[in-house]
Amino acid sequence: MVDGDTLAIEGSEVRIRLYGVDAPEISQTCDDAGGKRYLCDGQAAQYLVDLIGRSGHVMCFDEDRDRYGRIVAECSTLQNVVLNAAMVKAGWAIEYRQYSDGRYDRDEAEAKAAKRGLWAGQFTEPSKWRNSGDRFQSKRVAAGQPEGCAIKGNISGSNGIYHSLGQQDCAKTQINEASDERWFCSAAEAEAAEWRPAKR
């Protein structure tokens, strides 16, 4: 097992990428329901390990090859638990719509509605985290940012709004404390201060 959506075959350099799903990248961070930062990649990887179990045996059915030469497959345990669907249903991976055929739509909708895994808090989609400044935003502490406090409160007109990780405008929002803009450690803290959530 390499991460939450990639398997390694013991004694081989072969890698199997789980078809149609995308799990957090190595070192990717997310916010939990209370706004606390955690390493979501580790949580996703551990869930996949637990699904596979001690035997480490899985059955995989090739769907494709990716640009890195990895096998892209739907895999299941010896007890017929489909790993791809189970990861999405538990909320530790999302459907990778760019490459999937929609087969995990219901699993994702169920996880999102129940606020399981990643859906319990705020997160950046793994593909966006890989390909944008969100990767660096999630790793660094900005000037004046209290450790563990990643919610950005900025002033729009006369209103205070807050941006959480994973929202469209969060990464590009800059905090100007001279203009009474500020950092929050949780959504509850922002709302207690009468700031409202950003729409996107």
123-153: per-residue pLDDT in tens?
Answer: 999 988 877 645 444 444 455 677 667 788 8
Closest CA to 190 of 154, 146, 165: 154
Q: What is the dihedral of CA 111, 200, 146, 37, to 10 degrees?
A: 10
User: Contacts for 58-66 with beta carbons within 8 Å, 24 or more apart?
Assistant: 58/7, 58/83, 60/7, 60/16, 63/19, 63/20, 64/19, 66/17
Topology given in CATH for the domain delimited by 6-124: OB fold (Dihydrolipoamide Acetyltransferase, E2P) (2.40.50)
Domain ranges of the chain: 6-124, 141-197
- With a pLDDT cut of 70, the percent of the chain lying above it is 89
Which DSSP symbol is given to 174?
A: -
